[in-house]
C-alpha cells in the first residue's frame, strides 16, 4: 500500500512537472495529456495551459461559451463527446489553432454558428455524429483545408447546402448517414477531390443520380443503402475510375438507366438487394464485367422472358452472389429461385414464343409439376421438354372456342329454364285460382252463359220489334229496349269476382 502511494506520488509529481500546472482534481494526467473522463464535470477545468490533449469525455457540460478554451493554445486534440452540450457559441474554439482532432459526438447540439470552426485551420478529424443538427450553415466548413474525416452521422440534416465542402480539399471520409436528406444538389459535394468514402445510407433520398457526385476523382465507396430511391440515373458524362464499391440495397429501386454503370468501369462490389427490380437490362449486365461480388436478393423478379438475360449472366458469373433471387411474378413461378424457374419452366427456350411458354407453364402447373421433381427425375423433365409444345397453339385457340360455345350453351340453358319457370308459374296460378275460387269460375261460366242468353233474348226482341208494326210501337220501342238493358245491367253489376273473392276470404 505504501509502495502504491509512493508510486502515485511520483506519477503526480511527474505529471505536475511535465504539465507545468497542477493536474485537475480527479483527472488523470499523462505527460501533457489530461483525461478527465466521467467526472460529472459541468465546467472545463482550469490551469491546463500547457496540455496538448484534453479529454472531457462523458461529463455534464451543457454549453460551450465564447473563448472557453482560449488558454489551451497547445492543444492538439479535444474530446468533448458524451456530454450534454446544447449550445455552442461563436468563437468557442478561439485560439485552438493546433487542434487536429475534435470530438463533439453524442451531445445535444441543434445548430452550429457558421464561424464555429473558423479558428481551427489544422482540424483533420471532426466528429459531430449523434447530435440533433438540423441544418448546416453554408459556410460552416469554410477554411478547413486539412479536414480529412467528417462525421455527421445520426443527426437530422435535411439538406446539404451547395458547395458546403468546397474548401475541404483533403477530405477522404464523409459520413452523412442516418440523417433526413431528401435530395442532393448537383454541387453539394463539389470540391471533394480526395474523397474516397461517402456515406449517405439511411436517409430519405428518393432518387440516385450519379451527377450529384461530380468530379469526385478519388471516390472508392458510395453507400446509399436504406433510402427511398426508386430510380438510378446519371445525367452527367463522367467516369468514376476508382469507384469500386456501391451499396444501393434497401431502397425501392424499380428502374436503372441502362448506361449508369458504364461510368463505373472498375466496380467490384455492388449491392442491389432489397429493392423492387423486376429485370436487369442486357446493357447493364454488359457493364458489370468487372464485378467480383453482387447482391440481388429481395427484389421482385419477374420470371418471364425478361429474366433470361439476368439468368444467363448469373450462370456465367464467377464472383460472389447472394442466395435467394426469387420470382415474384407471374403467379405460377412465385417463390421459385430464378435459375430453377428458368430451367423448370423453360423460360428461355429460343424456339418457342411467349404465348407457348405461358401455356406450357400453366400446363405444367396443372399437372402438379415442380422443379423438385425435375431435379430428382431428369427423364421427367426431358419428357416435358418434348411433349406439350407441338399442339400448344391449337389448344390455345380451342380454348377460346370452347369458351364461346360454353357461353352459348349457358345462354340457351338459361333461356329454357326461364321459359319453363314462367310456364310453371302460370300453371300454378291457374291451379290456385281453380282451387281458391271454384265458385267464381262457375259463376263466370254462368255469367257468360246468361249474358249470351240475354243477348239472344235482346236480339229476338229487336227482331220482334222490327217485325211488329213500326207505326204503332214507335213510342214503346225505346222503353222496351231500356227494360232489356236494365236486366242486362243487373247481371253486369253482379261482378262475379267480387263475390268470388268474398267466398275465398271465408
Ligand X SMILES: *[C@@H]1O[C@H](CO)[C@@H](O)[C@H](O)[C@H]1NC(C)=O
Which residues make up the interface to ligand X (CB under 6 A)?
A: 21-22, 40, 46-47, 81-82, 103, 105-106, 114, 125, 127, 139
State the minimum distance, in angstroms, from the CB of residue 227 to ligand X: 24
Our CB check for ligand X shows the closer of 51 and 272 to be 51
18 vs 125, beta carbon nearer ligand X: 125
- Give me the least distance between CB of 204 and ligand X, in Å please: 25
Task: Find the shortest distance in angstroms from Cβ 222 to ligand X.
Answer: 21
The distance of closest approach from Cβ of residue 82 to ligand X in the complex, given in angstroms and rounded to an integer, is 5
Contact (CB, 8 A) for 107 and 81: yes
Pick the closest to residue 100 from 53, 60, 65 (CA basis): 53
Residue that the C-alpha cell 267480387 belongs to: 498
Q: How far is the CB of 173 from ligand X (least distance, A)?
A: 10
Strand partners, 207: 231
Report in angstroms how near the CB of residue 22 gets to ligand X at its nearest.
5
Shortest distance (Å) from residue 47 CB to ligand X: 3
Q: What is the DSSP string of 318-340?
A: -SEE-S--BEEESGGGTT-BHHH
Give the nearest distance from C-beta 336 to ligand X in angstroms.
45
Task: Give residue for cell 436487369.
Answer: 280
Query: By C-beta, is 74 or 306 nearer to ligand X?
Result: 74
Q: Which residues have a Cβ under 8 Å from the Cβ of 204 and sit 6 or more positions away?
A: 180, 181, 182, 227, 228
- Give me the DSSP letters along 1-56: -HHHHHHHHHHHHHHHHHHSSPPPTT-EEETTEEE-TTS--SS--S--TT-SEEE-
Which CB atom, from 123 or from 184, has the smaller least distance to ligand X? 123
What three-state secondary structure class fits 383? helix
Q: Evaluate the CA torsion angle 130, 132, 137, 140 in order and state its sign.
A: negative
DSSP 8-state class, residue 269: E
C-alpha cell at 288: 458489370
Nearer to ligand X, 139 or 395 (CB): 139
C-beta closer to ligand X: residue 153 or 220: 153
Residue 75 or 285 having the CB closest to ligand X: 75
Closest approach of ligand X to the CB of residue 276, in Å: 35
Burial zone of 221 (CB within 10 Å; 0-12 exposed, 13-18 middle, 19+ buried): middle
* CB of residue 103 to ligand X, shortest distance in Å: 4
- In the complex with ligand X, the residue whose CB is nearer, 67 or 215, is 67
CB closer to ligand X, 81 vs 225: 81
Q: Which three cell numbers stand for residue 310?
A: 439476368
- Using DSSP, state whether 440 is helix, strand or coil: helix
CB of 149 to ligand X, least distance (A): 6
Cell of 154: 445520426
CA 58 to chain centre: 41
Query: For residues 364 and 386, what is the distance between their CA atoms, to the nearest angstrom?
Result: 13
Residue 144 three-state SS: coil
Whichever of 81 and 340 has its CB closer to ligand X, that residue is 81
For ligand X, the closer of residues 106 and 155 by Cβ is 106
Are 346 and 352 in contact by the 8 Å Cβ rule? The answer is: yes
Q: Is 310 helix (H, G, I), strand (E, B) or coil?
A: helix
Q: Are the CB atoms for 184 and 204 separated by under 8 Å? A: no
Amino acid at each position: 500500500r505504501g509502495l502504491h502511494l509512493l508510486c502515485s506520488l511520483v506519477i503526480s509529481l511527474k505529471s505536475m512537472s511535465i504539465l507545468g500546472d497542477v493536474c485537475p482534481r480527479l483527472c488523470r494526467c499523462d505527460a501533457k495529456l489530461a483525461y478527465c473522463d466521467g467526472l460529472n464535470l459541468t465546467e472545463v477545468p482550469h490551469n491546463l495551459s500547457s496540455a496538448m490533449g484534453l479529454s472531457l469525455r462523458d461529463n455534464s457540460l451543457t454549453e460551450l461559451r465564447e473563448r472557453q478554451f482560449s488558454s489551451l493554445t497547445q492543444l492538439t486534440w479535444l474530446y468533448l463527446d458524451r456530454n450534454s452540450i446544447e449550445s455552442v457559441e461563436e468563437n468557442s474554439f478561439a485560439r485552438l489553432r493546433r487542434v487536429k482532432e475534435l470530438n463533439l459526438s453524442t451531445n445535444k447540439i441543434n445548430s452550429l454558428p457558421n464561424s464555429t470552426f473558423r479558428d481551427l485551420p489544422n482540424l483533420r478529424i471532426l466528429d459531430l455524429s449523434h447530435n440533433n443538427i438540423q441544418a448546416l450553415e453554408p459556410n460552416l466548413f469554410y477554411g478547413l483545408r486539412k479536414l480529412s474525416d467528417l462525421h455527421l452521422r445520426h443527426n437530422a440534416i435535411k439538406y446539404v447546402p451547395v458547395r458546403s465542402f468546397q474548401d475541404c480539399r483533403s477530405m477522404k471520409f464523409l459520413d452523412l448517414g442516418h440523417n433526413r436528406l431528401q435530395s442532393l444538389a448537383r454541387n453539394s459535394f463539389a470540391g471533394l477531390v480526395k474523397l474516397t468514402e461517402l456515406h449517405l445510407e439511411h436517409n430519405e433520398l428518393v432518387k440516385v443520380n450519379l451527377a450529384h457526385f461530380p468530379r469526385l476523382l478519388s471516390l472508392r465507396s458510395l453507400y446509399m443503402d436504406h433510402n427511398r430511391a426508386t430510380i438510378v440515373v446519371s445525367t452527367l458524362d463522367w467516369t468514376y475510375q476508382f469507384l469500386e464499391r456501391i451499396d444501393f440495397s434497401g431502397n425501392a429501386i424499380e428502374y436503372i438507366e441502362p448506361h449508369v454503370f458504364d461510368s463505373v468501369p472498375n466496380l467490384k462490389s455492388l449491392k442491389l438487394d432489397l429493392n423492387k427490380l423486376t429485370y436487369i437490362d442486357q446493357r447493364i449486365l454488359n457493364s458489370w464485367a468487372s464485378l467480383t461480388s453482387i447482391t440481388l436478393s429481395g427484389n421482385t423478379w419477374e420470371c418471364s422472358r425478361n429474366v433470361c438475360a439476368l439468368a444467363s449472366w448469373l450462370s456465367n458469373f464467377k464472383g460472389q452472389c447472394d442466395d435467394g433471387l426469387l420470382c415474384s411474378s407471374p403467379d405460377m413461378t412465385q417463390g421459385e429461385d430464378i435459375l430453377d424457374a428458368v430451367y423448370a419452366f423453360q423460360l428461355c427456350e429460343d424456339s418457342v414464343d411467349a404465348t407457348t411458354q405461358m401455356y406450357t407453364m400453366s400446363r405444367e402447373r396443372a399437372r402438379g409439376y415442380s422443379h423438385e421433381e425435375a431435379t430428382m427425375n431428369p427423364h421427367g423433365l426431358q419428357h416435358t421438354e418434348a411433349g406439350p409444345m407441338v399442339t400448344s397453339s391449337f389448344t390455345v385457340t380451342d380454348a377460346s372456342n370452347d369458351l364461346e360455345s360454353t357461353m352459348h350453351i349457358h345462354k340457351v340453358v338459361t333461356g329454357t329454364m326461364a321459359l319453363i319457370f314462367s310456364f310453371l308459374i302460370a300453371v300454378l296460378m291457374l291451379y290456385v285460382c281453380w282451387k281458391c275460387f271454384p265458385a267464381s269460375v262457375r259463376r263466370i261460366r254462368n255469367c257468360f252463359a246468361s249474358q249470351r242468353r240475354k243477348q239472344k233474348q235482346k236480339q229476338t226482341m229487336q227482331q220482334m220489334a222490327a217485325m211488329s208494326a213500326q207505326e204503332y210501337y214507335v213510342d214503346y220501342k225505346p222503353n222496351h229496349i231500356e227494360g232489356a238493358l236494365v236486366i242486362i245491367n243487373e247481371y253486369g253489376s253482379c261482378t262475379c269476382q267480387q263475390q268470388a273473392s268474398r267466398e275465398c276470404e271465408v
